[in-house]
Structure 1
């Protein structure tokens, strides 16, 4: 059995979980998430706890048990508290502004880059160079953050570009002059 898959998931009192015919619905204060569970995996919901069990014991089922447990746990946390991802923009003249569901980036290209957010993700911009993304689905939030970072990845010489707040850019030495 998977070590991660064996752990039980505690359901907060503000979250309602329903599971029938491999369809899991999680409803909370922030919204509703739905996911289809693999047929080899079963969920047991009792006493505000969720246990993930396998129908057969093989290598694929053990891997799916840990994966399913992590996905379900992220769903419960997402509808209860939500997730946040912070991106930083570094570089002279690099900035972002937000209007509605569209973020406009000035990243040193000849024209501004427009980025449309999904409905499930919201964003705020602080001081023109810090973007905070919020959402209830951790997977979608990560995809949006990766797509924004891909617009101008940080370069290793001066560190200019868009990076995650917790990311450390390993710097390279520039050219040395011939003596």
Structure 2
């Protein structure tokens, strides 16, 4: 029995939600998002918010129950507050800057890495060693952060590279004489 799925998703004021068949559409101050639910779950509007229930008591239906509720909650969070990921750059000469619709990264290669900023994602660099990624879609914000980190992941000896701001790098001891 899903403990997450049992709770209805509250719809805050300023947000309108509608259910059309298996499609849940949410409109808020930051835009409009939609999600198509799996056929194994059923969504309905109640006074408490959006309630998700499994259609039957099979294992696949129950496994989709909690996930579907979380996806609907992410829609509402995205159109109200949005999602944010912070990256930190460590290394001598490593820096980032936004130029138009591109993120330009100097990561110790012989050339600068140019990353085109996708539609619906906002990237800011308050300092040359910080990158702030914001957007309304949790999956896309995380994917963009992972793609930028992939250019130069942190290495364990000096800690140089691009890492998540809350990530801890386990450092290794260097060679001994």
Q: Which residue number corresponds to residue 101 of structure 1?
A: 101
The Cα shift of 1:34 comes to: 1.1
Q: Where does residue 53 of structure 2 map in the other structure?
A: 53
Secondary structure of residue in 2 paired with 1:77: helix
**Equivalent residue for 2:140?**
140
What stretches of structure 1 of length at least 5 have no aligned partner?
Answer: none
Contact 2:8/2:48 (<8 A) preserved: no
Q: Deviations over 1:107-163 (max 9, x none)?
A: 001100000111111010022010001101101100111101101000000000000
Number of paired residues? Answer: 177
Deviations 1:66-92 (A, max 9, x none): 110111101101101111110000000
So what's the TM-score if we normalise by structure 2?
Answer: 0.97
Q: Deviation above 2 Å: which 4+ runs of structure 1? A: none
* Rounded Cα–Cα distance in structure 1 between residues aligned with 2:116 and 2:42: 37
1:156-171 correspondence to structure 2 within 5 Å: 156-171=156-171
- TM-score, normalised via structure 1 length: 0.96
Report if aligned partners of 2:88, 2:130 keep a CA contact under 8 Å in 1: yes
Structure 2 stretches of 5 or more lacking a match? none
Contact preservation (8 Å) 1:14, 1:29: yes
SS at match of 2:125: strand
User: Cα RMSD (Å) of the superposition?
Assistant: 0.9
Deviation at 1:48, TM superposition (A): 4.9
